[in-house]
């Protein structure tokens, strides 16, 4: 194993652990409310959780943009810019937090109007939302700090923060729900408290970099570049959300069984994504560092080895899904109708790792290179391909058309970035020289 492979694993493995803990926050809330005696509690968590997922998904650029710019500054040993990126990102995160808090009522009411849950679920969802929205400042600042740590080649701090946050959430929620009997308020309050515990842990890790305080700039610096890069990521995220939620809505039109099958296969895709994102995060850190150091031979080696590890994971998941997809689905549901119908979707699950390989690895490389325009172009192209294939095939293939279109969408995303890389790299070489 080469030194570069060791560097990739040093960042990827803790990132994978962090990624796998992400869905735990929602799962814990669902598990607790599932024992409160009414399906309305679970529905409220589902509605409120989906709403916050969308909000935080939209602001994930705070992590991505911060990671790419920090890793390049770190590679160039430009510590003034390293601290400057953090200052600018924190300022933007705090500004967005204030905006979210000021607009919390119209955002809440518009969302409930569009989702149209039952009156009982809507009332409980309002209670959940009204408490959880106060966790927004902590969540957005954690995006920034996670991206900054990653740019500093440190993926262990975000991993530790994620574990601390999830353990805190379990403890707080259980105490507030079962000892104080706060029900939905207890679940929401426990989640918010855990977010701030996570933020406190991240700030403690940040103190380990206090030696950099002497490089802290007196002014915010180049906010224009920060917003230009993050504008592309923001628009890319909107395209991604549009595809995923259209996928859910279209699947719902085919009935409960196809909707359930789609949810099961999507869990298989998400599991694969948690692993692949670990290597994408390694790409963000190492590609940015190589570019910042103007070490373009190392950059080529990083890209090659990232795809080597990505290909190994793709083969592993393809074999696992080919042999054990029925067993995996049986872990998630014991509904015989769904399991029987799911047999006809076997190949779509097997194709997901192959079709998604390039998209995940190239995303990490492009973020590290701060080549966000290429990411936006690839996502928009993939989105167009998704809708074209679905509209063309849905009249005859119905729900199967959704999975064909989804596989095409993730493949086209990666293929487009592969085609753009030569031009993108040439632009990086020209700019940096």
Q: Is residue 275 part of a domain?
A: yes
Task: For 369, list phi and psi in degrees, rounded to 5.
Answer: -85, 0
Q: Is residue 6 part of a domain?
A: no
Percent of the chain with pLDDT over 90: 45
Residues 264 and 301 in one domain: yes
Give the pLDDT score at 300. Answer: 92
Please report which confidence band the pLDDT of residue 347 belongs to, taking 50, 70 and 90 as the band edges.
confident
Distance, in Å, from the CA atom of 409 to the CA atom of 355, rounded to the nearest integer, reads 9
Q: Is residue 228 part of a domain?
A: no
Distance, in Å, from the CA atom of 383 to the CA atom of 386, rounded to the nearest integer, reads 5
Distance, in Å, from the CA atom of 279 to the CA atom of 359, rounded to the nearest integer, reads 12
Give me the mean pLDDT over the 19-46 stretch.
68
Domain final position from 221, 254, 273: 221
Crossing angle of the two packed helices 79-102 and 61-75, in degrees rounded to 10: 170
Q: 179-193, 256-270, 352-366 — which one is most confidently predicted on average?
A: 352-366
Residue 265 sits in which domain range?
233-433
Q: Total structural domains in the chain?
A: 2
Q: Is residue 1 part of a domain?
A: no
Domain final position from 188, 221, 254: 221
Q: Is residue 254 part of a domain?
A: yes
Residues 178 and 322 in one domain: no
Q: Is residue 103 part of a domain?
A: yes
Please report which confidence band the pLDDT of residue 142 belongs to, taking 50, 70 and 90 as the band edges.
very high
Distance, in Å, from the CA atom of 12 to the CA atom of 14, rounded to the nearest integer, reads 6
For 64-74, what is each residue's pLDDT tens digit?
889 989 999 99
Q: Which helix (H) or strand (E) holds 53?
A: helix 39-58
Q: 14-28, 29-43, 206-220, 370-384 — which one is most confidently predicted on average?
A: 370-384
For 382-411, what is each residue's pLDDT tens digit?
999 999 999 999 888 888 899 999 999 999
Residues 280 and 217 in one domain: no
Using only C-alpha atoms, the chain has a radius of gyration, in whole angstroms, of: 22
C-beta separation of 39 from 177 below 8 A: no
Domain final position from 170, 190, 221: 221
Q: Which two tokens stand for residue 309?
A: 């590890």
Q: Is residue 8 part of a domain?
A: no
Q: Which two tokens stand for residue 104?
A: 């919390």
The residue behind tokens 């670990």 is: 278
Closest residue by Cα to residue 166 from 326, 274, 64, 18: 18
Give the pLDDT score at 432. Answer: 55
Residues 194 and 300 in one domain: no
Residue 332: pLDDT above 70? no
Residues 72 and 188 in one domain: yes
Residues 189 and 259 in one domain: no
C-beta separation of 172 from 194 below 8 A: yes
For 242-254, what is each residue's pLDDT tens digit?
898 788 778 777 7
Residues 103 and 68 in one domain: yes
The distance of Cα 143 from the centroid of its chain, to the nearest Å, equals 10
Q: Is residue 23 part of a domain?
A: yes
Distance, in Å, from the CA atom of 388 to the CA atom of 391, rounded to the nearest integer, reads 5
Give me the mean pLDDT over the 270-278 stretch.
89
Residues 282 and 331 in one domain: yes
Residues 146 and 280 in one domain: no
The pLDDT mean for the chain works out to 86
Give the pLDDT score at 431. Answer: 64
Residue 111: pLDDT above 90? no
Residues 217 and 237 in one domain: no
Residues 97 and 135 in one domain: yes
Residues 262 and 397 in one domain: yes
């Amino acid at each position: 194993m080469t030194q570069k492979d060791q560097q990739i694993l040093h960042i990827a493995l803790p990132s994978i652990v962090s990624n796998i803990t992400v869905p735990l926050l929602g799962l814990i809330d669902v598990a607790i409310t599932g024992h409160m005696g009414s399906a309305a509690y679970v529905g409220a968590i589902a509605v409120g959780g989906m709403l916050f997922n969308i909000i935080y998904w939209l602001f994930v650029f705070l992590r991505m943009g911060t990671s790419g710019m920090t890793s390049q500054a770190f590679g160039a040993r430009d510590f003034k810019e390293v601290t400057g990126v953090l200052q600018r990102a924190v300022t933007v995160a705090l500004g967005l937090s204030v905006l979210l808090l000021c607009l919390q009522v119209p955002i809440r009411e518009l969302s409930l109007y569009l989702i149209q849950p039952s009156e009982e679920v809507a009332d409980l969802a309002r209670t959940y939302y009204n408490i959880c929205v106060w966790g927004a400042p902590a969540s957005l600042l954690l995006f920034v700090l996670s991206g900054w740590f990653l740019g500093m080649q440190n993926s262990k701090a975000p991993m530790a923060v994620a574990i601390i946050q999830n353990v805190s959430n379990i403890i707080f929620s259980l105490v507030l729900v079962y000892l104080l009997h706060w029900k939905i308020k207890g679940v929401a309050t426990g989640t918010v408290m855990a977010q701030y515990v996570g933020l406190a842990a991240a700030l403690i890790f940040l103190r380990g970099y206090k030696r950099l305080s002497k490089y802290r700039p007196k002014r915010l610096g180049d906010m224009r570049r920060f917003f230009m890069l993050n504008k592309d990521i923001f628009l890319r995220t909107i395209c991604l959300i549009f595809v995923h939620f259209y996928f859910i809505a279209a699947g719902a039109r085919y009935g409960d069984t196809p909707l359930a099958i789609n949810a099961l296969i999507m869990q298989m895709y998400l599991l694969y994504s948690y692993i692949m994102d670990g290597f994408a995060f390694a790409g963000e850190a190492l590609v940015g560092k190589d570019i910042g150091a103007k070490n373009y031979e190392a950059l080529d080696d990083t890209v090659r080895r990232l795809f080597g590890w990505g290909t190994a994971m793709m083969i592993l998941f393809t074999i696992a899904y080919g042999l054990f997809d029925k067993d995996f689905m049986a872990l998630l549901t014991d509904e015989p109708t769904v399991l029987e119908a799911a047999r006809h979707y076997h190949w779509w699950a097997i194709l997901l790792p192959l079709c998604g390989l390039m998209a995940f690895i190239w995303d990490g490389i492009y973020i590290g290179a701060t080549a966000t325009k290429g990411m936006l172009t690839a996502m928009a192209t993939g989105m167009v391909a998704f809708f074209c294939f679905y509209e063309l095939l849905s009249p005859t293939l119905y729900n199967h058309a959704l999975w064909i279109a989804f596989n095409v969408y993730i493949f086209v995303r990666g293929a487009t970035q592969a085609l753009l890389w030569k031009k993108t790299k040439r632009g990086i070489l020209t700019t940096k020289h």
